Structure 1
Amino acid sequence: MKKLLLAAFVLASAAFSAKAQQGSVLVYGSLGLQTQSANYVNLRNVDGESGKGTCFSIAPGVGYQFNKNWTAGLELGFSSNKSGDAKAENLFNVGPFVRYSQPISDIFSIYGQAGVGFESYKQDQSKASGVYVSVVPAISANIKNGFALNFGFGGLSFENTKVKDGDAGSSFGVNFGKSFNIGVSKNFGGKK
């Protein structure tokens, strides 16, 4: 039960952004940790072997809020996935984002965030790099002093990567209602 609660807590993203304020700086991010035990069979593992594994991810971002609706900035991301005795798979991404927020009351806002950028993958001697595009919808509930709770429920993603000295590949993902995350947000400065 403790592992389940810990996994649920850690998988929830923590973000630092908030109620729209013109001229403010938006700082946000997410943090995740996923573990699997020795008796859990990874569905991606086609030979059916089980083993211990850990995946850690962190994704901060910073932006400038031009008015109550539009924010633009830079997002970063890093994840490391280690399974069994294999060396960790590491993924790094960086790129600009734009966010459109629409207040629907004094407490609630909805927003969509689109990002595009460069990503790099490495495991042992294998390296790959490419581009990504993502679109994520969310709902924000303003609490007090510019703090808010953010609720995400999926999104769209596209990746196009090329393995060093190898082939290129692409993937497209649609994930609405399959995942859910909660974050905390805050804006700094700006006009009220």
Structure 2
Amino acid sequence: MKKLLLGVALFIATISHAQKGSVLLGGNVGFASEKIGDDKSTNFEFSPKVGYQFTDNWTAGVEGSIINVKIAGLEKTERYRIGGFVRYALPLSETFAFYTDLGAGYQTNSINNAKGMYVNMTPALFINMKRGFGLNFSIGGVNYDNIDGKNDLRQERFGFDFGKTFSVGVSKNFQL
């Protein structure tokens, strides 16, 4: 029950207040760790984005990611992503807003020159600190990706990872 309440609080806290005609500049830092038996993996992600807020609630833009994946006993890999996103924001007050990002794009993996695509949906909470500068909080989302290397089997992943991951980001709205 405590995890559910924490999840709901973080979900509500990640809402972003969009301002029509402004440019959104932001980014997230994420960390995930998983241990199954003796196998352990850790992921670190940096994801900048820039978008144009064409209505009070809708933003569209470009996103990218650099993801470092380390699995115990295996080679460390890096994954790069570039794509687009659309955001719907619902202001709750002058301080808090809830938003959901839907992103899709192209990805590569440093091992065996693998390539593929990704799609993700991430609900989040925005806390307006001052003059359009704020903090973003997310505790996971829904994601799908696939990747195919020259000598490797095609990999497809579908994830529903609410409460399993946590990311913190910053954003700034600039009026045009």
Bin for the TM-score computed over the shorter chain: 0.7 to 0.9
Q: Radius of gyration: which is bigger?
A: 1
Q: Which moved more, 1:22-31 or 1:81-90?
A: 81-90
Alignment of 1:83-162 (within 5 A): 87-123=75-111, 126-162=112-148
- Contact between 2:31 and 2:165, CA under 8 Å: does it hold in 1? no
Give the unaligned 5+ runs of structure 1.
Answer: 1-17, 36-41
Post-superposition Cα deviations, 1:54-89, rounded to whole Å, max 9, x if no partner, equal: 754321111111011000011101122356786431
Equivalent residue, structure 1, for 2:155: 169
Match of 1:79 in 2: 67
State yes or no: 1:43 paired with 2:41: no
Unpaired segments ≥5 residues, structure 2: 1-15
Structure 1 residue 188 corresponds to structure 2 residue 174: yes
> How many Å separate the matches in 1 of 2:159 and 2:42?
23
| Distance in 2 between residues matched to 1:55 and 1:177, nearest whole Å | 15
Instruction: Note closer, same or farther for the CA distance 1:182–1:43 as it changes in structure 2 (3 Å cut).
Output: closer
TM-align CA RMSD: 2.6
Q: How many residues matched? A: 161
Which stretches of structure 1, 4 residues or more, deviate above 4 A after TM superposition? 32-35, 53-56, 82-87
- Which one has more relative contact order, counting CA pairs under 8 Å at least 6 apart? 2
Distance 1:171 1:56 in 2: 18
Shift of 1:122: 1.7
Q: Is the 8 A contact 2:148 2:155 kept in 1?
A: yes
Q: How far 1:19 sits from its partner (Å)?
A: 3.4
SS in structure 1 at match of 2:55:
coil
Normalising by the residue count of structure 2, what TM-score does the alignment of the two structures yield?
0.78
Q: Offset at 1:103?
A: 1.0
Match of 1:5 in 2: none
Q: Structure 1: which amino acid aligns with 2:28?
A: S
Q: Percent identity?
A: 39
TM-score normalised over the length of structure 1? 0.72
Q: Deviations over 1:139-168 (max 9, x none)?
A: 112222112222212100001221213432
8 Å CA contact 2:32, 2:165 repeated in 1: no
Residues 44-63 of structure 1 aligned to structure 2 (within 5 Å): 48=38, 56-63=44-51
Residue 180 of structure 1 deviates from its aligned partner by 3.0
Give the counterpart letter for 1:148 in structure 2: G
